[in-house]
Chain A
Amino acid sequence: MSNFETVIGLEVHTQLNTESKIFCSCPTEFQSPPNTNICPVCCGYPGVLPVFNIKALKLALRVSLALNCKINPSIYFERKNYFYPDLPKNYQISQYKMPLGYNGALLLPSGKKIRINRVHLEEDAGKLIHKEDYSLVDLNRTGTPLLEIVSEPDLSDASQAFDYLTYLKLILQYIRASDCDMEKGSLRCDANISLRPKGQKELGTKVELKNMNTFKGVRVALEYEAKRQAHVLKNNQKINQETRLWDPAKLKTAIMRTKEEAHDYRYFPEPDLLNITVGDDLIKAESSNLGELPLAKSKRFLDDYGISGKELDIYISNINLADFFEEVVKIYTKVKEVSNFLLGPFLEQINNNKEGFSAVKIEAENFSKIVKYFSQGRLNNLTAKKVLSLSIFTNEDIDEIIDREKLTQVSNEDELLAFVSEAIKENPKAISEFNEGKQQAIQFLVGQVMRKTKGKANPKLARQMLEKTIKGGSV
């Protein structure tokens, strides 16, 4: 392995966040029943014509700008011709000679610069559902705007490819261009990988890898393929230029088609669409729509809130959480308290929810009350968590929940006294241990009081009262 150097380039396909498809007005809604978001245009019925959705151009332009691409001032679409049942026209409207963006670069957090070869717009194909001896076609996805982002072969190993994908996804989410959900298929990745002897300038023969369905899959597939190619080369055999499919079950790649079987796509300009001018005004507008990119946010969170290290990483990689954090600290300004509660109980709730952050309904103002009451001692650790769990996905008013569930912390000595006395009476062993100097015993007794009050007792006050009572010997 060590005699070779790995060269990787990635082709990422990402669905753009438009409400309607790229060449018709059908919704891009993901979860509809098969063949319901379709019309004669996206089904490729005879005689239909495409009409370009300018929103797709705007988002594509935003991505190109975020990836520091040069922009072609006039673009046109081309037809990529091939037969497949998920492509009802048997050609895909795509871009070939004149991509929207070219010569860009993505600077990874590690400092490594990955050059971007091109960014171009196209229409997505439908989906095939294979049954035992027949296949079904679902055209809901047909015509969803798709952006192809092609990197130069600047990645030198599988984990760098993983980092590139992770960071690219983050950027796409930051600029609100795509959901980047690989499970929904809104982000897909093919890889080109070749090996060459260390120090050699020209590239080795490349193999294209397809069918990686997760970022981890990309990493594992590339690791496997690098090893496979090294093995072939070590045995003085040749690598064939071919396309290979990743098999996630067998953890292997297998040949899909050789170079000779490659398609001739017969690209030619799409005569049904006019050239599109990408004017300076449009570029200006999308530049200003870029918003804050991860590096800038990182710096600001450090400067403005003093957040750093792992905490900062969590916010930077979770834009929704970061936005929510900023909303909350505008209302309740104690950054540390807010952040502790968000990264603790709040994140735990989200991680336990299948839908993740998108299930969150609680508004910042309502949420800030939990943090405030906790800090004031009106809620303790347990009750605060309970209130959160009841409100996070409903946004039910915090005060109403506390009222209904009778969760206000008992901080009144008169109310607590009976429970303290009971705890002491029932646990003589703990008393004697405490008197012998075992400080932990008091913790046990506090626990008993908490149990009796169903978690509502102010634990600090309970402890004081217990100590005072035992030392005073007044029971």
Chain B
Amino acid sequence: MLDLTQLNAKDIALALKEAKLTKDEVSSFFKKRIDEFNPSLNSLIEVFKEPDKGEGSSALASLGIAIKDNICIKGRKITCASKILSSHRAVYEATVISKLKQAGLEIAARANMDEFAFGSSTETSCYGPTKNPWDLERVVGGSSGGSAAAVSARLLPFALGSDTGGSIRQPASLCGVVGFKPTYGRVSRYGLIAFGSSLDQIGPITTSFIDCAHLLNIICGHDAKDSTSAKIDTPDFSKSLNCDCSQIKIGLPKEYFAKGLEPEVKTAIEGVKSYFANKKIKFIEISLPHTEYAVATYYIIGSSEASSNLQRFDGIRYGLRSGCSNLEELYTKTRSQGFGPEAKRRIFLGTYSLSSGYYDAYYVQALKVRRLIKEDFDSAFKEVDAILTPTSPSTAFKIGEKTNDPLSMYLSDIYTISVNLAGLPAVSFPCGFSKNNLPIGAQLIGKAFDEETLIKLGSCFEEGSDYHKQIPPLVVNKKNSHE
């Protein structure tokens, strides 16, 4: 039998269609890998004994997908990796799940994440941290760390994550896979448990741009159930694969290559630049002058929205309810016992920012800076079609290294956060390895609703590189690799 870890999802689906493989072969192949590697990785919280089967057809039909545990799959548990929801089951289906099923995909597993997506390392999960398949002592990034690790370890061909400030791209970068955050409004948020409603977006995590384009084709599109979903047609993203890129102009924001960037990461991004330069793509240095305020702005807006979004977890109608003798105690005990420390930190921060007397100085000020950040991008995109940056300032750090230093943890997202504040599409893709053999990711940022340029560039890079084909040595199945 073929070694499916060497194939992308689209080719596996094709082999199935052409009867070169049977469905049982494919599912037992991945089931074996899950059984073998998931216990040490802790990337999947639950693998469904009987996956939810899809009914339609598409280029990816019949394949199983892992879903970050903040997207509702009707009838299944949904916990956001939080104790407060540990017994909760989804009573309805998220729009993206309906779309996946209509495209014939199987909903196979729930993926680990930071609690309520608060984090950059998947260490705040109530299920414990997910470990990096490239080095089990290191983090996978976050918050969609379970999804990224599962795809990186080829436990499943692909996964969905969600990205509020880098939560798809940063773990993709740290795990050596492709993580795409679509334009805000491109994918319906209906059924995604909200963190920062004006920032959240669901997106695919895959091993290649080919799979990424096909998965985007399935999940994008206007949804009447989400008022912020854009009434804009979804192009066939697969048509952007392997196109001519010579007319594309790429901007390099000087602020993204300043202090704090690990030299190995910088070198890898320069490698991407020279690859594209060889393809006659033009590079222009640009400036995004408000970049230094992005992290502060993001933590005020994101936490403000989160503090309000998380108020519904009160023990009244669903989720954890702690024993109590009156209403006040019910709220206090349930929430004190149900939320972990990082969730509490964000709730405090957000509640403070929105409080009367502080609202203007924090929340309103942050909204103004958000507009300036967006305007930075607007003027940059008058000159260029895409922007190239590192995804993360460093490769995967050690588990526990930053848990007691929230500020340094927050800086892990320094290159990804502005994109969410501006609502733009961006993707992280593998572009090299450190001398410790840890993956490095590059980020491409596009104009609003111009995911196509990113797919063109990304697939162009993939054509001439094999970084995305590298499989973590720890999860190379010896039997398979010798066959």
CB distance from B85 to the nearest CB of A (A): 7
Which chain A residue shows the least CB distance to B357? A264
Q: Which of B91, B196, B351 counts the most chain A CB atoms within 10 A?
A: B91
Q: Does B94 contact A268, Cβ atoms closer than 8 Å?
A: no
Q: Indicate whether A271 sits within 8 Å of B227 (C-beta atoms), given known contacts A45-B91, A264-B356.
A: no
B196: chain A residues at CB < 8 Å are 271
Q: Indicate whether A48 sits within 8 Å of B227 (C-beta atoms), given known contacts A264-B355, A266-B355.
A: no
A46: chain B residues at CB < 8 Å are 72, 78, 80, 85, 88, 193-194, 312-313, 318
Q: Does A40 contact B308, Cβ atoms closer than 8 Å?
A: no
| Chain B, 345-367, CB within 8 A of any chain A CB | 351, 354-356, 359, 363
Which of B80, B192, B331, B363 is within 8 Å of A268, CB to CB? Answer: B363
CB distance from A32 to the nearest CB of B (A): 18
Q: Does B227 contact A272, Cβ atoms closer than 8 Å?
A: yes
Q: Does A49 contact B189, Cβ atoms closer than 8 Å?
A: yes
A378 at the interface (CB under 8 A from B): no
Digitize B277-313: 1 where CB-to-A-CB distance is under 8 Å, 0 elsewhere: 0000000000000000000000000001101100111
| Chain B, 212-228, CB within 8 A of any chain A CB | 224-228
Q: Does B355 contact A51, Cβ atoms closer than 8 Å?
A: no
Which of B227, B305, B356 is within 8 Å of A49, CB to CB? Answer: B227
A89: chain B residues at CB < 8 Å are 311-312
Q: Does B227 contact A50, Cβ atoms closer than 8 Å?
A: yes
Interface residues on A, range: 20 to 34
CB distance from B349 to the nearest CB of A (A): 13
Q: Indicate whether A40 sits within 8 Å of B312 (C-beta atoms), given known contacts A47-B191, A266-B351, A271-B305.
A: no
Q: Does A49 contact B314, Cβ atoms closer than 8 Å?
A: no
A272: chain B residues at CB < 8 Å are 194, 197, 227-228
Question: 14 A–B contact pairs at CB < 8 A?
Answer: A45-B92, A45-B318, A49-B226, A49-B228, A51-B224, A51-B226, A89-B311, A264-B356, A266-B308, A266-B354, A268-B305, A272-B194, A272-B197, A273-B227
CB distance from B100 to the nearest CB of A (A): 16
B311: chain A residues at CB < 8 Å are 81, 83, 89-91
Which chain A residue shows the least CB distance to B311? A90
A271: chain B residues at CB < 8 Å are 196-198, 228, 305
Q: Indicate whether A43 sits within 8 Å of B317 (C-beta atoms), given known contacts A48-B190, A266-B308, A273-B227.
A: yes
CB distance from A284 to the nearest CB of B (A): 25
Q: Does A81 contact B354, Cβ atoms closer than 8 Å?
A: yes
A79 at the interface (CB under 8 A from B): yes
Measured in the bound complex, the distance between the Cα atoms of B197 and A50 in whole Å is 12
A301: chain B residues at CB < 8 Å are none
A49: chain B residues at CB < 8 Å are 189-190, 225-228
A4 at the interface (CB under 8 A from B): no
A248 at the interface (CB under 8 A from B): no
| Chain B, 315-336, CB within 8 A of any chain A CB | 316-318, 327, 331
B331: chain A residues at CB < 8 Å are 83
Which chain B residue shows the least CB distance to A81? B308
A264: chain B residues at CB < 8 Å are 355-356
| Chain A, 256-286, CB within 8 A of any chain B CB | 264, 266-268, 271-274
A401: chain B residues at CB < 8 Å are none
A52 at the interface (CB under 8 A from B): yes
Q: Indicate whether A83 sits within 8 Å of B314 (C-beta atoms), given known contacts A40-B92, A268-B354.
A: yes
Q: Which of B92, B312, B314, B359 counts the most chain A CB atoms within 10 A?
A: B312
Measured in the bound complex, the distance between the Cα atoms of B318 and A421 in whole Å is 84
Q: Which of A46, A52, A88, A272 counts the most chain B CB atoms within 10 A?
A: A46
Q: Could you list which residues of chain A lie within 8 angstroms of chain B, going by C-beta atoms?
A: 40, 43-52, 79, 81, 83, 85, 88-91, 137, 264, 266-268, 271-274
Which chain A residue shows the least CB distance to B88? A46
Q: Does A51 contact B225, Cβ atoms closer than 8 Å?
A: yes
A85: chain B residues at CB < 8 Å are 314, 316, 327
Which of B94, B304, B359, B363 is within 8 Å of A47, CB to CB? Answer: B94
Which chain A residue shows the least CB distance to B316? A85
B70: chain A residues at CB < 8 Å are 47
B71: chain A residues at CB < 8 Å are 47
CB distance from A86 to the nearest CB of B (A): 9
Measured in the bound complex, the distance between the Cα atoms of B441 and A322 in whole Å is 75
Measured in the bound complex, the distance between the Cα atoms of B94 and A46 in whole Å is 11
Which chain B residue shows the least CB distance to A45? B91
Which chain B residue shows the least CB distance to A39? B92
Which of A40, A52, A88, A274 is within 8 Å of B91, CB to CB? Answer: A40
Q: Does A51 contact B227, Cβ atoms closer than 8 Å?
A: yes
Which of A50, A83, A268 is within 8 Å of B304, CB to CB? Answer: A268
A51: chain B residues at CB < 8 Å are 224-227
| Chain B, 180-221, CB within 8 A of any chain A CB | 189-194, 196-198
Measured in the bound complex, the distance between the Cα atoms of B80 and A267 in whole Å is 26
B194: chain A residues at CB < 8 Å are 46-47, 272
Digitize B151-174: 1 where CB-to-A-CB distance is under 8 Å, 0 elsewhere: 000000000000000000000000
B351: chain A residues at CB < 8 Å are 266
Measured in the bound complex, the distance between the Cα atoms of B307 and A49 in whole Å is 16
Measured in the bound complex, the distance between the Cα atoms of B318 and A137 in whole Å is 13
Q: Does B312 contact A88, Cβ atoms closer than 8 Å?
A: yes
| Chain B, 46-98, CB within 8 A of any chain A CB | 70-72, 78, 80, 85, 88, 90-92, 94
Measured in the bound complex, the distance between the Cα atoms of B312 and A85 in whole Å is 10
Q: Does A88 contact B317, Cβ atoms closer than 8 Å?
A: yes
Measured in the bound complex, the distance between the Cα atoms of B194 and A48 in whole Å is 9
B78: chain A residues at CB < 8 Å are 46-47
CB distance from A260 to the nearest CB of B (A): 13
CB distance from A37 to the nearest CB of B (A): 16
B355: chain A residues at CB < 8 Å are 264, 266
Which of A52, A90, A273, A274 is within 8 Å of B312, CB to CB? Answer: A90
Measured in the bound complex, the distance between the Cα atoms of B483 and A200 in whole Å is 97
CB distance from A459 to the nearest CB of B (A): 68
Measured in the bound complex, the distance between the Cα atoms of B197 and A89 in whole Å is 14
Which chain A residue shows the least CB distance to B328? A83
B94: chain A residues at CB < 8 Å are 47
Measured in the bound complex, the distance between the Cα atoms of B191 and A40 in whole Å is 10
Which chain A residue shows the least CB distance to B224? A51
B91: chain A residues at CB < 8 Å are 40, 45
A268: chain B residues at CB < 8 Å are 304-305, 308, 354, 359, 363
CB distance from A429 to the nearest CB of B (A): 79
A43: chain B residues at CB < 8 Å are 317
CB distance from B422 to the nearest CB of A (A): 15
CB distance from A56 to the nearest CB of B (A): 14
Which chain B residue shows the least CB distance to A86? B316
A81: chain B residues at CB < 8 Å are 308, 311, 354
Q: Indicate whether A44 sits within 8 Å of B308 (C-beta atoms), given known contacts A51-B225, A85-B327, A274-B227.
A: no
B356: chain A residues at CB < 8 Å are 264, 266
CB distance from B334 to the nearest CB of A (A): 11
CB distance from B60 to the nearest CB of A (A): 24
CB distance from B78 to the nearest CB of A (A): 7
Q: Does A47 contact B224, Cβ atoms closer than 8 Å?
A: no
Q: Does B227 contact A91, Cβ atoms closer than 8 Å?
A: no
CB distance from A144 to the nearest CB of B (A): 18
Q: Does A47 contact B193, Cβ atoms closer than 8 Å?
A: yes
B80: chain A residues at CB < 8 Å are 46
Measured in the bound complex, the distance between the Cα atoms of B193 and A50 in whole Å is 13
CB distance from B170 to the nearest CB of A (A): 23
12 further A-B contacts with Cβ under 8 Å, apart from A44-B312, A46-B78, A271-B196, are A46-B88, A47-B192, A49-B189, A79-B308, A81-B308, A85-B314, A90-B312, A91-B308, A137-B317, A266-B307, A268-B304, A272-B194
